[in-house]
Amino acid sequence: MHTVADSRLSLANLGDPFSDDQELSMDDEWDHHAPNDECGVFGIYAPGEEVARITFFGLFALQHRGQESAGITVTDGTAIVTHKDMGLVTQVFSEKTVEGLVGCAAIGHTRYSTTGSSTLCNAQPLEGNSAFGPFAVAHNGNLINTAELKAELSALGCNFASTNDSEVIAQLLARTEAASFEEAIIEVMKRIQGAYSLVILTPDKLYGVRDPYGIRPLCIGKINGSKYVLASESCALGPVGAKFVRDVEPGELIIIDRNGQTEVQALPVVRHATCLFEFIYFARPDTMLYGKSLHQARRRMGQELAREHPADGAHVVIPVPDTSIPAAIGYAEAARIPYGEGVIKNRYIQRTFIQPSKRMRDLGARMKYSPLTETLAGKKVVMVDDSIVRGTTTGKLVRMLFEAGAREVHVRITAPPVKNPCYYGIDMADQRDLVAAHMSVEEIREMIGATSLGYLSLEGVVRAIGINKDKFCRACFDGKYPIPVPKQLRESKLMLDVKSEDDGPVEQSTKAEYAVV
C-alpha cells in the first residue's frame, strides 16, 4: 500500500521520478498507430456502500483510458487512505486490498502518462494536507502553464516528488490561504491553465471539477437515487448500478456531501471545446457525450466515409478491432458491401512485464493481430481504422492483409489527417512524428503500401456527430488551439516549420520544465 502523509504534500518512497528503469507494455513497443488518452477518473460518495469495490469496478470500466497505473483513495469520515501501484486495475487490486479500503467515499484513477514518466511516483490519486485537513486529487488532462507554476512553488520552498503536472494542482491546494476548501479549489482553478477534469476527496466531501473549456469529459451519476458518482465517461456508471444524470459543465465545481449535491459555476464558460478525438476514438462506444451515443456517431462516420471515399468493386469491409468496428459497420451499410472480420485481436496483450525479443518486436503488429485468411484470400478489402498517427502499424497491417492473400487493400480512416500535436492531455507525439504533417495523402498511401487511402473530412466527422464544430477542440486536425499555448511548449512539439493558428495570443513559458511524453 502506498500512502501519503505529510504537512504539505509527500510522495516519498515511491521511487525515483527521473528513473529510466521503467516497465513497458508490449503495446509501448509498436502500438503507436493511434493516439493515447491520459487517464480515467472516478469518484463516489455513498455512505453504507462498499465504495472501494464500486470504485474498482468503475476504474475497470475506464481501463481503456489508461493502463500504466491505478489507484484508489477512500475516507471513513476522518482519515484518508490510498492504495496505488503500476499496472492494470486487476493487477493493482486484489480482494484483500479492496476489503481493506473501508469508507463512505472514494476516488480512483487509471493512468496513461502524457506529462511525467511512467513510474510509481506519478501514479494517482495524490494525497496532501491543507489548512482544512487531508485531501486527495486525481486528474485527467494536461496543464500548459506547469513550468510557471512549478517555478513559483519552488521559490516558496516546495519540493516536487513527481514529474507530472497533477502534483502542481495538489501543491497549490496544499498551500492555499483561502477561507474554505471550496474557495481554495476555485482559487486553483483560476491559476491553472489547460485541460483538467478533477475528482477531489476530503474526509467529508467529494468534489468534481472541469476546466472552463470542457476539453476532457466528466459526468455525474446516481446510485439508488440518493448516492452520487462522478466518472470520466458514462460507460462507468452502468456497471456499478448508477444512472446517468448529466455532464459536468465547463468551469463547474460539483460539491457532494451528506446533504446532497451543490453546484457552483466556479469559472465562466469560455467556450465548449470537448476533444473531438473522444468521439472518434478515445471514449468507449457505449458512452454518451453531449447527449449523443458514440456508437451511433461512429457508425455514421463510417457511412460518411463511404460516401466521401467509395471503394468500387470491393468484396468485404473489415475493421481494425476494436475501436473501428462501429465505423466499419457503417461503411459496409452505406457502400452495400459485406461486413466481415478480417483481423483478430489478441485482447490479452494490453500489458505484460515480459519484454519481447528483438525478433519478436520486428514482427510488430503480428503480436497483436492475426489475419483471417478465409475472409481475405483473393478479395478486394476495405480496411477501416480510426486514425493514422505515425503510420508504422498501419503499414504492417496492410502488409499482413496482402500476405494473407488480399488482392487489394483500400484503407479508410474515420479521422481527418492528424497534422498538429496535442497539448491538452493526449500522447500524440511531436509534429515530426506525425506522418500527415509532412506527407501528402498519396505519399502516405505509398508508405503504408495500400491500394488506396481515404480520410474522412472534418466536415464529415461533424456531420456524423450532429453537433456544431465550434463545440469541439479540433486543433490536431486544423491547428486552431482553443487555449493559447505557451511559445516554448509549442516549440518543443512543433518540430517542423509549420505555422498553426491560435484563437488568441501566444504566451511565454520555460521549455526546460516540460516533460512531454
**Catalytic residue annotation:** 39
CA distance to 1, 63, 110, 219, 263, per residue, from 170 (Å): 20, 24, 17, 22, 22
**Residue 65: CB atoms within 10 Å:** 26
Q: Is 400 helix (H, G, I), strand (E, B) or coil?
A: helix
Contact present, 125 and 193 (Cβ < 8 Å): no
Q: Is 6 exposed, middle or buried (0-12, 13-18, 19+ CB in 10 A)?
A: middle
In the three-class reduction of DSSP (H, G, I as helix; E, B as strand; rest coil), residue 289 is classed as strand
Beta strand 126-130 with 252-257 is: unpaired
Q: Which three cell numbers stand for residue 189?
A: 482553478
Q: Decide: helix, strand or coil at residue 318.
A: strand
- Report the 3 state secondary structure along 180-205: CHHHHHHHHHHHCCEEEEEEEECCCC
| Residue 380 cell numbers, joined | 478486394
Q: Edge-to-edge strands of the sheet including 380-385?
A: 316-319, 380-385, 408-413, 452-455
What residues contact residue 249 under an 8 Å CB cut-off, 6+ apart? 210, 214, 265, 269
* Residue among 137, 192, 106 nearest 11 (CA): 137
Q: Which amino acid is at 131?
A: A
E strand or H helix at 137, and its extent? strand 133-143
